[in-house]
């Protein structure tokens, strides 16, 4: 009998040790939402990610190959735009990561709305990804202390991010579309003003909450034409890949107990 009790104690000690190893990682994942210091003014600019996150935190947020960015729009509520609905169009976004293996560039991005818009200097309209928002906070809430998701409006996903080596530096170059303002309602609505657009790194779950809220869409002028799609194919909240390790471990405990019973 003492031998059995000793084995049982060892078994549960191993389980506790394994869970203890997993807990730091779970804590780090919950703290990913981070407001970034750099903002975008007058349509373009560079965001230095390393001012606000460590290499380890950035690596964790890129673990599934996608960087989720929350965007707080601060557009002028004039013309077709108003306090309850405003928008901008994105021309280019580039994530540049420097690692011990070299410099890498990623420019594939996604938002869940797009529109046909004529760029300044162009004679025809093309399709661009767009962002919607509103003035002030929304009715949604964040999931971590010190981070208010309600102050953000929309989500940009920078996709297909893959790198080797240790991260040394990372920045994002953002360029909004300069529209032909007299070409039509889309061009007037999705132009940009001189307001500061604020960004944050989001967890996948918070990105899904913000994206599916569709802030500013219902109040958009009826003359503004856009296409809305399901956020990232509808699979933001549950990143692809294996289940979280702690669930795997907890699921394995009954199996181990059953195995021990059979051996007895």
Mean pLDDT along residues 219-238: 75
Give yes or no: residues 98 and 77 share one domain.
yes
Confidence of residue 79 (pLDDT cuts 50, 70, 90): confident
Residue 137, domain member (yes or no): yes
Residue 175, domain member (yes or no): yes
The lowest-confidence range among 109-118, 180-189, 245-254 is: 245-254
Report how far residue 96's alpha carbon sits from residue 244's, in angstroms, rounded to the nearest whole number.
29
Residue 253, domain member (yes or no): yes
Report how far residue 241's alpha carbon sits from residue 109's, in angstroms, rounded to the nearest whole number.
21
Bridge-based pairing state of the strands 102-106 and 196-202? unpaired
**Structural domain boundaries, residue 85:** 32-229
Residue 3, domain member (yes or no): yes
12 is written with which tokens? 């549960």
Residue 61, domain member (yes or no): yes
Provide the pLDDT for residue 260: 43
The distance in angstroms from the start CA to the end CA of the chain is: 12
Give yes or no: residues 11 and 130 share one domain.
no
Mean pLDDT along residues 106-123: 97
Average pLDDT score over the chain: 81
Give yes or no: residues 63 and 163 share one domain.
yes
Provide the pLDDT for residue 143: 63
5 is written with which tokens? 């009790």
Mean pLDDT along residues 117-146: 89
Provide the residue count of the chain: 264
Overall number of domains in the chain: 2
Give yes or no: residues 113 and 41 share one domain.
yes
Global pTM value: 0.76
Give yes or no: residues 18 and 65 share one domain.
no
Bridge-based pairing state of the strands 40-41 and 196-202? antiparallel
Give yes or no: residues 16 and 105 share one domain.
no
Residues 6+ apart with CB under 8 A from 135: 77, 83, 84, 86
């Amino acid at each position: 009998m003492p031998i059995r009790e000793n084995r049982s104690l060892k078994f549960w000690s191993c389980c506790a040790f394994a869970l203890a190893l997993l807990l730091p990682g779970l804590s780090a994942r919950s703290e990913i939402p981070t407001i970034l210091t750099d903002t975008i003014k007058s349509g373009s600019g560079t965001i230095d990610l390393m001012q606000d996150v460590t290499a380890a935190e950035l690596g964790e947020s890129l673990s599934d190959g996608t960087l989720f960015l929350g965007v707080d729009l601060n557009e002028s509520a004039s013309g077709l735009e108003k306090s309850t609905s405003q928008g901008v169009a994105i021309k280019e976004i580039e994530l540049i990561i420097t690692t011990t293996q070299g410099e890498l560039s990623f420019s594939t991005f996604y938002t869940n709305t797009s529109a046909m818009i004529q760029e300044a200097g162009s004679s025809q309209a093309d399709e661009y990804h767009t962002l919607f928002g509103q003035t002030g906070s929304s009715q949604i809430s964040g999931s971590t202390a010190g981070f208010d998701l309600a102050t953000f409006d929309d989500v940009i996903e920078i996709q297909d991010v893959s790198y080797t080596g240790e991260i040394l530096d990372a920045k994002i170059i953002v360029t909004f579309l300069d529209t032909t303002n007299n070409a039509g309602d889309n061009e007037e609505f999705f132009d940009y003003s001189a307001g500061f657009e604020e960004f944050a790194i989001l967890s996948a779950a918070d990105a899904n909450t913000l994206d599916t809220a569709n802030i500013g869409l219902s109040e958009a002028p009826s003359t503004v034409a856009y296409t809305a799609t399901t956020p990232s194919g509808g699979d933001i909240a549950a990143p692809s890949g294996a289940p979280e390790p702690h669930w795997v471990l907890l699921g394995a405990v009954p199996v181990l107990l059953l195995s021990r019973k059979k051996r007895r």
